Structure 1
């Protein structure tokens, strides 16, 4: 059966299912046991919140989902570190590629949004972030922040990717936080990347991006201040956000050669750098 990303035709948000077999037959979530449906190459197309992990947090439109693995099959307790493999890596790929993820809640999931019995389809969500942290049981777990996808996403399968795509107008909204602190930081570095030193000159003027070391908002709660900001080119911004490299205590780059270039007036908070190393450098 081809993997479908997006809505399943004929299945409306709020649809109820008696058990996992009905959920599978509807096409909403194919595995009858695993909470994540997907592969490390394709991405994740759906998840089920079934109360299996103690660290899950559900606010309805925002879900902080715990990845799979590391649990004792008999007691269900977390006994090992989780790895960024299989379903966890599939969700990371969905984050990277912006793929929609179908979310279903089960009655055993401890949330005010869960159904009294069986399973209920909650609609489409996007993976906005993924990181590693120490869970309640003291082991590393992978966390995925999902937010409700407010706009319709057409259902498609991987088989359809081989067909000639139709041309259509697509509007993409990108959230850009260009605050006073960010503008001042980029001016301090003359819009040059603190990693590679490159400055991008466009017809509208120089371009650089202000990257937050510790992300803003829950559950990270990083501040929008200069000690939590880096001036980066787009390439190194993406690599930093996805944990391809980090910054050591001595400002040595981890995962890349060289040191971070730091202006004498730019004071970085070591706690934010440590947070990034702990949360995002899964290979560390």
Structure 2
């Protein structure tokens, strides 16, 4: 089994061009000859090819909204069933959670001004910033992944599929555009709950005092465009913040927890907008 490389392929710089999928596979840039995602649901995804296969893809150059795998008719290419968070889609989700980069290759048949007019081109490393599900243009659920371009320096990480061992640690220079958040509102929701998690009521102490995290129910920024308001905020401990962001649990309109036992603790002077709860259930919860 060939070694899976999460990072640049030695000797293949960004901008390298290939005449076919066979050549991509030969040089180890993207091993599968047909699949758009190269990866394992146990390890993560090492590369993807943008080839115009899914109508919901959005390519903005340094940012890509990528549609996951599955659910299409082999005869027509149309989406005919919901996609599942399994196999290659789960591989991309693991990249998000584990911070693994993915190689992006654009093909000539990908409908984008950033794609080559012929053949295939390796366009560098991207990080998976977030993932969620939504109804695609066809009306079926698809999984969507937001990819953001990385600027990298150094040797790649490697993982052997059989030995599960990792190679050298890589130093990465990253330029990230972040949304400016209202820190006063975030501080307010923490103080409102005296830094106790609204799910488990845990109070986390550190050397600098109590610690909690302000979690947006409907995420900020494109494509979610949630507001930075108190009605869209929760006070959570780090564990439940991660679980909530990645669909480990949801919240019903009556504040009952979905996927966990119990109710969300809610202060009388903290109004939570039900439309944001519904958005989270629709896009992040596996079984809303």
Instruction: Identify if the C-alpha distance between structure 1 residues 177 and 168 changes in structure 2 by more than 3 Å, giving closer, same or farther.
Output: same
Instruction: Identify if the C-alpha distance between structure 1 residues 172 and 235 changes in structure 2 by more than 3 Å, giving closer, same or farther.
Output: farther
Equivalence for 1:16? 17
Equivalence for 1:184? 188
In structure 2, the gaps of 5 or more residues are none
Equivalence for 1:85? 86
1:275 partner SS: helix
- 1:136 deviation in Å? 0.2
- TM-score, normalized by length of structure 2? 0.93
2:46 partner SS: strand
User: Aligned to 2:279, which of 275, 278, 284?
Assistant: 275
Equivalence for 2:141? 140
In structure 1, C-alpha distance between the alignment counterparts of 2:194 and 2:107, rounded to whole Å: 52
1:274 partner SS: helix
Equivalence for 2:269? 265
1:256 partner SS: coil
2:152 partner SS: coil
Count, aligned residues: 283
Q: Render the CA deviation track for 1:71-100: whole Å, top value 9, x for unaligned.
A: 011110111110111100100111110100
2:191 partner SS: helix
1:129 partner SS: strand
- 1:201 deviation in Å? 1.4
- TM-score, normalized by length of structure 1? 0.94
Equivalence for 2:52? 51
Whether contact under 8 Å (1:38, 1:87) holds in the other structure is yes
Whether contact under 8 Å (2:129, 2:147) holds in the other structure is yes
In structure 1, the gaps of 5 or more residues are none
Instruction: Identify if the C-alpha distance between structure 1 residues 54 and 179 changes in structure 2 by more than 3 Å, giving closer, same or farther.
Output: same
Equivalence for 1:247? 251
Equivalence for 1:223? 227
Q: Render the CA deviation track for 1:4-27: whole Å, top value 9, x for unaligned.
A: 111101111111110100111111
Instruction: Identify if the C-alpha distance between structure 1 residues 188 and 139 changes in structure 2 by more than 3 Å, giving closer, same or farther.
Output: same
Q: CA RMSD in A?
A: 2.1
Q: Render the CA deviation track for 1:100-125: whole Å, top value 9, x for unaligned.
A: 00000001111110001111111000
In structure 1, C-alpha distance between the alignment counterparts of 2:197 and 2:155, rounded to whole Å: 38
